Structure 1
Amino acid sequence: MTTPVLDIAVRHRLGDFQLDAAFQSQGRLTALFGTSGSGKTSLVNVIGGLIRPQAGHVRVEGEALLDTARGVFLPKHRRRIGYVFQEARLFPHLTVRQNLLFGHWFVPHAVRKPAELDKVLELLGIGHLLKRRPGALSGGEKQRVAIGRALLAQPRLLLMDEPLAALDEARKAEILPHIERLRDEVGIPIVYVSHSLAEVARLATTVAIVDAGRIAACGPTAEILARVDLASRPGAPEASAVLSAAVTGFDEAFGLARLATPAGELAIARGALRLGQQLRVRIMASDVMLSLAPPEGTSALNALPGTVAEIGERTGEGGSTVHLRLDCGAANLIVRLTAKSVASLALAIGKPVYAIIKSVSVETP
């Protein structure tokens, strides 16, 4: 059996709040998703050694950082964990280069990698900032430097506690591609705390939903976000489908891009997409309509054939809404309809349908 990258099971009381969370993950980037006060940051602080829990264990790639049953508790300075906070927390009197090398100083000389600084500068696109001080940096630049400092400490695990929460949308757009490269190229597992569904859908390979100090669900991102049974839970993310996609062509006359996805071909606004580009797209359950026949005379450009695979319980005020899961080829789509629509279309498991999706409703990076 493969050893999990992360194996967490801890219990701890903080005043009136009880943390009782357990999950395992093989993901390159594990997102802890939940509402404010759900226990995400407390759980990260346990992993990082900032909180010593009353019971449980924390294992990273099989090595115990904490095991109360065996009396193991590695202090935070021996865990080799990089920590990136909401605020960059750079030293204002040091240059960017000095801030970065501060992380490198914690690495024993015997295991330091001389070319590591150059790799980090290229990965994060911050080589031109080396002589500046933090006061002359944008919020996104500060966070990239903070990530670089954490990486240069050569950690075994990187904890990112809502690193984009203090940034505006433009700065978030600036830094997200760098976190994607970090996830895909560096090989250091990441625990990423967020209450932003858009960030989680774009970045996470594994999602753990934190609710009132417990793990309500944990698994691959596409599976968790498409869980019909989770859709009505307090604090659960809005149900959606996350699809891998590739740009296969363009409709130049109308500014559209064609995407190949496991659910079928989609037409969306071209934006800055490039031919051959690999990306993730997200389709919210509330943005999908259903038809029993191929649609005609509609403005929506996308109609994907599928079969009703699951019908959830009625939720909402008076039981007014229902979530359904569709089997569309090699992928699932999630649909949120009124209970009346489900009844009027006589929807049942196994019934063929067409999922109608407006191009402007497909979310892309």
Structure 2
Amino acid sequence: MSLSIKLCHPLDNNTASAFVLELDLMLSIKEHVVGVFGDSGAGKSTLLKHIAGIVQTRGKQIVYYQDDITALLPEHSPCCYQNQHGYLFSHLTVKQNLALVLRHGNYSDTVPFTFDEVIKWCNLLPLLEQNISTLSGGEIQRIAFARSLLSGKSLILLDEPFSALDWQTREQMLRLLPWLKANYGIEFIIVSHSLRELSLVASYIVILKQGKVIKHGVSNEIITRYSQGHGQQAVTALRGKVIEHIEKYQLAKVLLDGENEQAVTVHANDMYQGNVLLSLNANKVSLSKTKPSLTSIVNLLKVTVRKIERQPSAALITLALNEQLILAEISLMSLDKLTLAIDEQVYAQFKVL
């Protein structure tokens, strides 16, 4: 494992909701983009600040690969912490803010990409000469992410980094993370209140509740099971590998993990390569007992019914595709019409992702 975390840190001691952030966790951040999920006040941000060296306390040990980084100050740590506020210098331009980290950062000589590449990825070219004080919260978050990349640090800790962005732009930024990891070896831990957001980017999930890890594991199982309730939209995170780009339509074919090889079609650009995660909302999935033909619905998967949960306003069906799970939310009328049975094979269909 590439990151070992041992913590025992009392939180909010002067309030009725006091608890202890207590962890003994080993994470393979070399293999996974790690997502941390939990309610407000669960200890997510404090965890990242401990890893980065911003918060110090007794009863703590952070080992990054073979190096004990417990006592390192933030400027000397190989970890870069970025929160949702950005904290840029408001009297400087965007370009001047980014130049500061290149000029004064302790790791700036290890940046594996160019300044211009980062500007392109974060779509900052039109903003370079503007003062920070004139920009929106979403623009500031994109600039802060560019600054994190230009820090040259190998592990970037992201605390709700794109919360001010519209969903389309947020999705574009999130998809950068696994691509940067695959192509440049940058490691990421990202905190979010949204399992839908984490389903796009995190292949391993840690769930915190009142300072304790209550679940952790690969994202398909954790997100699929935990998004059923807890105030979250039911969503699935599917693992796969890009096998073909259809440039004419700006689409790609993704072969889903598992022995029974099945592929789906997704919207993609030329940066969408290699192993990927697909986020599929349960209410976008329809079911059929027979194989549909002559339909505009592009994606069709043969799956097995594993669980049927009748809810007050809809039915939530858990489906198995090899070892991966998929959720489908259908109407109660459709459930009665289909008369589904456990272990029955059906077809799940959904539009281009």
TM-score (norm 1): 0.73
User: For residue 181 of structure 2, what is the amino acid of its counterpart?
Assistant: R
8 Å CA contact retained: 1:225, 1:237: no
Q: Distance in 2 between matches of 1:44 and 1:88?
A: 15
Distance in structure 2 (CA, Å) of the matches to 1:301 and 1:55: 54
**Alignment match, 1:83:** 81
| Residue correspondence of structure 1 range 33-182 to structure 2 within 5 A | 33-66=37-70, 73-108=71-106, 113=109, 116=111, 119-125=114-120, 126=124, 129-169=127-167, 171-173=169-171, 175-182=173-180
Residue in structure 1 matched with residue 320 of structure 2 by the alignment? 326
Instruction: Write out per-residue CA displacement over residues 79-123 of structure 1, whole angstroms, 9 at most, x where no aligned residue.
Output: 232122212211122233331232234445xx7528x49713313
CA distance in 1, matches of 2:291, 2:155: 49
Aligned: 1:11 with 2:12: no
Are 1:311 and 2:313 an aligned pair?
Answer: no
Q: Is the 8 A contact 1:158 1:190 kept in 2?
A: yes
Shift of 1:164: 0.9
Structure 1 CA distance for aligned equivalents of residues 127 and 112 of structure 2: 13
Distance 1:101 1:258 in 2: 36
CA deviation after TM superposition for structure 1 residue 237, in Å: 6.8
Distance 1:149 1:241, change over 3 A: closer
- The aligned residue for residue 197 of structure 1 is 195
Aligned partners of 1:291, 1:89: CA distance in 2, in Å? 51
Shift of 1:339: 9.5
Partner SS state of residue 185, structure 1: helix
Deviations 1:114-147 (A, max 9, x none): 8x49713313324665443223545444333322
User: Matches of 1:181 and 1:293 in 2, distance apart?
Assistant: 37
Is 1:26 the counterpart of 2:24? The answer is: no
Residues 215, 233 of structure 1: CA spacing in aligned structure 2 closer, same or farther, 3 A cutoff?
Answer: farther
Q: How many residues align?
A: 336
1:266–1:148 distance in 2 versus 1, CA, 3 Å? closer
- RMSD of equivalent CA atoms: 3.9
Deviations 1:229-287 (A, max 9, x none): x455636773414243647587x9xx89673432624467xxx6469954543223344
Q: 1:188 to 1:44 in 2, by over 3 A?
A: same
Aligned partner of 1:234 in structure 2 is 230
- In the alignment, the residues of structure 1 paired with residue 310 and residue 271 of structure 2 have an alpha-carbon distance, to the nearest angstrom, of 41
For residues 303 and 216 of structure 2, what CA distance do their matches in structure 1 show? 26
Q: What is the DSSP-based 3-state SS (H/G/I as helix, E as strand, rest coil) of the residue aligned with 1:88?
A: coil
1:305–1:353 CA contact under 8 A, matched in 2: yes
Cα 1:142–1:347 shift into 2, 3 Å? same
**Larger C-alpha radius of gyration, 1 or 2?**
1
Fraction of identical pairs, as percent: 24
Instruction: For residue 21 of structure 1, give the secondary structure of its aligned residue in structure 2.
Output: strand
Give the whole-Å Cα distance in 1 for the aligned partners of 2:102 and 2:39: 35
The answer to whether the 8 Å contact 1:242/1:281 transfers is yes
- Match for residue 70 of structure 1? none
Q: Summarize the Cα distance change of 1:157–1:135 in structure 2 as closer, same or farther, 3 Å threshold.
A: same
C-alpha contact 1:96 1:134 (8 A) present in aligned 2: yes
Q: Is the 8 A contact 1:123 1:182 kept in 2?
A: no
241 and 198 in structure 1: CA distance in 2 versus 1, 3 angstrom threshold: closer
- Report the residue type matching 1:238 in the other structure: A
CA contact (8 A) 1:30 1:207 kept: yes
C-alpha separation between the residues in 1 aligned to 2:316 and 2:171?
A: 34
Any gaps of 5 or more consecutive residues in structure 1? Answer: 67-72
Bigger drift between 236-245 and 49-58 goes to 236-245
